[in-house]
Structure formats: C-alpha cells, structure tokens
Amino acid sequence: MKVQQKLLDLADVDAELLRIRHRRINLPEDKEIERLKKERQARKDDAVAAEIALDDLDRDIKRLEREVDQVRQREQRDNALMQSGSVAAKQLSELQHELGTLGRRRSLLEDELLDIMEQREAAEENYKHAGARLSHAEEELDAAGSKRGDATADLDVAEKRCDTDREKLAQLFPEELLSLYENERRSHSVGAGRLQGSRCGACRIELDRGELERIKATPPERVVQCPECGAILVRAGR
Ligand SMILES: [Zn+2]
C-alpha cells in the first residue's frame, strides 16, 4: 500500500505549515516594531516637552520685553516732565529719585531678559535635536514595517505553496484514510509518522515488543496507529 507512504509527505507538508504559522506569530520584526513604537513615543514626549519649554521661555521673553518697555516709557515721561521746567523743586527731587529706581529696575529686567534669551538659544537647540531624533525614530519604525511586510510576504508564498501541495496530496487518499489522518492531526497535531525500528516517527516513543509483534502481524494494507500518540504508523514499503 504505497498510498500510506504518501501520508508521510502529507505529514511533512503539515509540519511545514505548523512551522510557518509558528514563525508568523513569533516574527522578530513584530518585537522590533513594538520596541520602536515605544522608542518613537518616548522621542515624541521629548519633542513635546522641548516645545513646551521653548514656548514658556518665549512667553517669559515677551513679558520681560513688555516690562522693560513700560519702565522705559515711565522714564521718558519723567524726563520730559523734568525738562518741561513746570515742576516744583520737591517734585523734581522725587522725579530724580524715581528715575534712579526705574533705572535700576530696567537694568535688572534687561539682565534677566539676556539670561532668558541665552536659555532660549539652548532650548531651541534642544527642540531641534528632539525633532531630529523623533524623525529618526519614525524612519526606523517605517523601515521595520516594510521589513515585516517582506517577512510576511515570504511566509504567504511558503504557505500558499504548502496549501497547493496539500490539495494535490489529499486527492491521493481514500476518504476514510484521510479523515483518520485529519482526526489524529487535529487532536495530536501530527497525523502520521514513519515506524523507525521500534520508534514512532510522530511521537518518538519506543514501542514495546508486544505492540511491535502485533503491528508486524497486521497485513500491510491495513492501517495501524501508534498506541502512544494515535498517529498512523507508516511501515517501510507500505
Ligand atoms: Zn506515536
């Protein structure tokens, strides 16, 4: 019964299909994509934080510029008043005093403004750098995505080839034998194995002498199953 030998080809195809399925759910590219997604999120958070820092400094700069401007206007007004000659001596000394205070205040504000502008330069560098790192992370993620696509396409091709082989092979078997095979495959993942010496090729368990005698005594055209795993045991030449 050479048809039983063909069961081994079918079992090979099914084993290959299992390997393909296993590879598909354990793609290293998927792990890489997961890692890169986290990386991209971290870079995005950095970029957002850098942008917020920059915006805060811009707001501080605007506020300080406004304050400096107000002090300057006040100084101009006081100066104009002093030069108008229309103020009394007491008010004149008050104005002089105020101008002194305003000058010191403006100088402090201008120092602070310079300091913040320097901070802004550093923050802008930081912002640009964070943006570049985010772009890089996005590029890496894109590349990993296409690599995954390639890997999946390869598996699709292999799976399709197996499916075709399987359909062709399945036509060779009597219905009863095929359904026995399918049942065993469904319940134990392997439907048929070669009897190698005293060992079942499906579960690798060694059969005892009694079982071997029983199998030996079974006519070749009859189907025998492994007493351990249920797989159809294909005997040499059958
Ligand atoms: Zn077995």
CA distance 138 to 107: 46
Q: Based on the domain organization, do 62 and 179 belong to the same domain?
A: no
Q: Pick from 129, 160, 191: which residue ends a domain? A: 160
Quote the pLDDT of residue 204. Answer: 94
Å from CA of 191 to ligand 1 middle: 10
Q: Based on the domain organization, do 194 and 225 belong to the same domain?
A: yes
User: What is the span of the domain harbouring residue 130?
Assistant: 25-160
Å from CA of 178 to ligand 1 middle: 18
Helix-then-strand count for the chain, H and E: 5, 4
Quote the pLDDT of residue 21. Answer: 96
Angle between helices 175-188 and 2-25 (to 10 degrees): 30
Q: Is residue 165 part of a domain?
A: no
User: Residues near 37 by Cβ (< 8 Å), separated by ≥ 6?
Assistant: 141
Å from CA of 19 to ligand 1 middle: 20
User: Residues near 107 by Cβ (< 8 Å), separated by ≥ 6?
Assistant: none
Å from CA of 6 to ligand 1 middle: 18
Q: Which residue has the tokens 């495959």?
A: 185
Count structural domains, the chain: 2
Q: Is residue 73 part of a domain?
A: yes
Q: Is residue 86 part of a domain?
A: yes
Quote the pLDDT of residue 221. Answer: 87
Residues near ion ligand 1 (Cβ under 5 Å): 200, 202-203, 226, 228-229, 231
Tell how strand 192-196 and strand 199-200 pair up.
Answer: antiparallel
Å from CA of 86 to ligand 1 middle: 117
Å from CA of 229 to ligand 1 middle: 4
What is the rounded (10 degree) CA torsion for 92, 98, 103, 108? 170
Å from CA of 189 to ligand 1 middle: 11
Q: Pick from 111, 135, 160: which residue ends a domain? A: 160
Q: Based on the domain organization, do 117 and 188 belong to the same domain?
A: no
Q: Where is 41: in which H helix or E strand? A: helix 28-84
Q: Based on the domain organization, do 183 and 152 belong to the same domain?
A: no
Q: Pick from 127, 160, 193: which residue ends a domain? A: 160
CA distance 69 to 62: 10
Q: Based on the domain organization, do 105 and 210 belong to the same domain?
A: no
CA distance 1 to 6: 10
Quote the pLDDT of residue 1. Answer: 55
The whole-number mean pLDDT for each consecutive block of 10 residues of the chain, a chain of 238 residues, reads 88 96 96 98 98 98 98 96 89 94 97 98 98 98 98 98 97 95 92 95 95 93 93 84
Stated pTM of the model: 0.73
Å from CA of 206 to ligand 1 middle: 8
Å from CA of 159 to ligand 1 middle: 26
Å from CA of 231 to ligand 1 middle: 6
Å from CA of 84 to ligand 1 middle: 114
Angle between helices 28-84 and 89-170 (to 10 degrees): 170
Contact status, residue 72 vs residue 106, Cβ threshold 8 Å: yes
Q: Based on the domain organization, do 136 and 31 belong to the same domain?
A: yes
Q: Based on the domain organization, do 50 and 123 belong to the same domain?
A: yes
DSSP one-letter string for 135-155: HHHHHHHHHHHHHHHHHHHHH
